[in-house]
Amino acid sequence: MKIFKNKKNLIKHISQIKNLAFVPTMGTLHRGHISLIKEAKKKSKNILVSIFVNPKQFNSKKDYKKYPRNINKDIKILEKENIKFLYLPDNKDIYSFKPVTPIYLHKFSKELCGKFRPGHFKGVINVVNRFLEIIKPKYLFLGEKDLQQLILIQMHIIKNKIKTIVVPCKTLRSNTGIALSSRNLRLNRKDLKIATKISYFLHNNKKKLIKKLIKNQKKEIIKKIYLLGAKKIDYIEAVSFKKFKIVKRIKNKLNIFIAYYLNDVRLIDNL
C-alpha cells in the first residue's frame, strides 16, 4: 500500500488512473468502512482511501479533539484489505488552495442535522469538494447511515456537473441493531444497552411511528425515547426520500431520521 501525505505526490501518482474508486473516511475504521471498501472492489482494482478528521465539520473544538483516532490500527486494516492507495493529508494540505468548483448547498442542508449543527454541512461539502478536485475519482463510495450528508454531496456533484459517480452503500449494523459508527467507541456498556433499546424500538415500530410523526404526535414518541434512556433528542422526523424534505402526510417512501445523545455522544440513524 502506497501512503501519500501531500496532494502533489498523490496527483502525480494517480493522474493516469481512469477508474479510481474513492472511499473517504475520518479513520477509526470499523466493519462499516470495510463494507464500503468491499463495494468499491466490485467497481475497481484501484481503490484510494483517505483518512482525515475534518475540523470544519465539527461544531466545537472539544468534540473535534474527542473524536476517536487510531491511525496505526487503520493502516493495518487497510493493508489486510489490499488497498493500493492511502491519502493522509493534514489541514494545510487540504485547505491551502482555492477550489475551482463552488460549494452548492441544497435547501435540505437546513433541515435535521443542519438545523442543530450550523455550518456542519458546509464543512462537509467543502472538504469533499476539495478531495474530488485533488483525486478526480470515477466513483465515490458513501454510507447511507449519514443519508442526509450523502444526499447533499450528491446534489453538489449534480449541480456542478462533476463526473464522479456516487455509490450509496447500505448501513451496516451490529448484532444488536445499532448503526456502526466510530463514535460508538465512546459509549460505555450502559450506553450501548440504551442505544440497542432505542434502535429496537424504532425498527419494530417504524410504520406506527411514521403515522404518529405525520399526525403531530411527536411528543409521545420523544417521551418514550427519553424513558429508554436518551439524554437529549435533537430531532425525530419522517422524511421523504424522494423529495428530501420533512413531510406531513404519507405519500412517498418515508424514512425516520433521528439524532440523540447518550451522555455527550451524539448518535444519528435513519431507517
Active-site residue set: 33
CA 111 to chain centre: 16
| Sign of the alpha-carbon torsion through 42, 46, 48, 49 | positive
Give residue 49's identity as a one-letter amino acid code.
V
Helices (DSSP H) in 109-188: which residue ranges?
Answer: 113-116, 120-135, 147-159
Integer Cα distance of 270 and 247 in angstroms: 15
**Residue 123: which residues within 8 A CB-CB, separation 6 or more?**
54, 55, 56, 57, 58
The residues with which 8 forms a beta bridge, in sequence order, are none
Q: HSE (CB half, 13 Å, CA atoms) of 263?
A: 11
Tell me which H or E stretch contains 93: helix 91-95
Neighbours of 101 (CB within 10 A): 15
Q: Are 187 and 181 in contact (CB under 8 A)?
A: no
Q: Are 208 and 194 in contact (CB under 8 A)?
A: no
